[in-house]
Amino acid sequence: MLILGGGVIGLACAYYLLEAGRGVTVLEQGTVGCGSSHGNCGTLTPSHAAPLAMPGMIGTALRWLFKADAPLRIRPRPDAALLRWLFDFAGRCNWKDFDRATRAKAPLLLRSRALIEEIVRRERLDCEFEALGTLNVFRDEANFEQARALHERLAEVGVHVDALDAQATLAREPALKSGVAGALFNPGDAQLRPDRYVAELARVVRAKGGIIEEQTRVDAIVREGTRIAKVATSAGDFAGRDVVLALGAWSPRLASQLDLRIPIQPGKGYSITYTRPALCPRIPMTLKEPSVCVTAWGSGYRLGSTMEFAGYDTTLNRTRLDALRRGAAAFLREPEGPAVVEEWYGWRPMTPDDLPMLGRAPCVDNLVLATGHGMLGVTMSAGTGQLVSEIVTGSKPSLDLAAFAVDRFA
């Protein structure tokens, strides 16, 4: 069994395939978890079941088009693949597709959230896991009321949300400044330190007999008939009875060698990691108007989020980082820690409908796709790993895979 990609998705697939008795080799072009698994905010959020594509999003994106520090920014440039992606995305910004995507995503998020806690306990993963819930905090009353109405729809898919007024919000989280309108508390959410979670998954995979080849760049996929015969890499050739493509935002580049269309765009996110401030938030939260995620662990403190469609741009955009700082300063009494540990960016694999691509590839008998998890790769990791194991072993999938079909964009 060959897995392409040593991020959180690839390692979760490796874990469940090993549990099912399969031999596993993971190929990673850098080090395990060096991509978007590394610097995200580490929240496990079934509460984020709603898709990015929703009514009104196109108007919001257009208003922010030339605003360099907007929470969602599309950098204007000639890019045919991006234009096709945006056209498909725009066609899904309606309530029918919104409800369809939410109903598909919620069961996977809920299942995966439970499985992650189970793995953490069973394998004794040292990753600072805590089941604290999360807060979505608002300073604008109209935004708060609109979000309350929207989140009531989540109860229909099994995601519980509690609305807190301003007083209850400040009582729940003393690190916040006064002037908040209220918050939505998501009791089923949790958090962990994502880089440590990935490192621990890698440790367990190796302990169970899995092989992880780091610094191994995939150069070409050699196909014979309807099967992948071998994968040529910077460290030599590898082969497996089945191949799992779990390359995140890099998936389209490799899939094109197999004439597979994977409509994924790299959604660039940013984070700043600090040492802990004296007045540290007790509950991980999203500051909604600036779209800043705040997470604190015993080992550190992180501000993160934003979404930038700028292709595979490798610059660390100072404007985006400064927007995180300003957003946190508007909400928190002590928004930054004493010392900056790391400034980071990473690419999230964004599909037009905000749903992952899970299943066997058309016309390639031994290829399974596990990609396109958007902003929720960590949360979906264990659920994805379990489903991929079921697909490979021929077991009945524990969730309906129809909404995640690989050929749905054909």
Look over the chain and give the mean of its residue pLDDT values, rounded to a whole number. Answer: 94
Q: What single letter denotes the amino acid at residue 252?
A: P
Pairing relationship of beta strands 367-371 and 243-245 according to DSSP bridges: parallel
Measure Cα distances from 158 to 49, 102, 153 in Å: 10, 11, 9
pLDDT digits (tens, 9 = 90+) for 139-158: 999 999 989 888 878 888 99
pLDDT digits (tens, 9 = 90+) for 184-196: 999 999 999 999 9
Q: What is the pLDDT of residue 111?
A: 97
Lowest mean pLDDT among 72-76, 111-115, 236-240, 285-289: 72-76
The mean pLDDT of 380-406, rounded to a whole number, is 96
Of the two residues 69 and 395, the one the predictor is more confident about is 395
Q: What's the rounded Cα separation, in Å, for the pair 80 and 256?
A: 15
The pLDDT of residue 115 is above 80: yes
In the chain the first and final C-alpha atoms are separated, in Å, by 27
- Nearest to 127, CA basis, from 200, 203, 188: 200
Q: What's the rounded Cα separation, in Å, for the pair 75 and 172?
A: 38
Q: What's the rounded Cα separation, in Å, for the pair 408 and 410?
A: 6
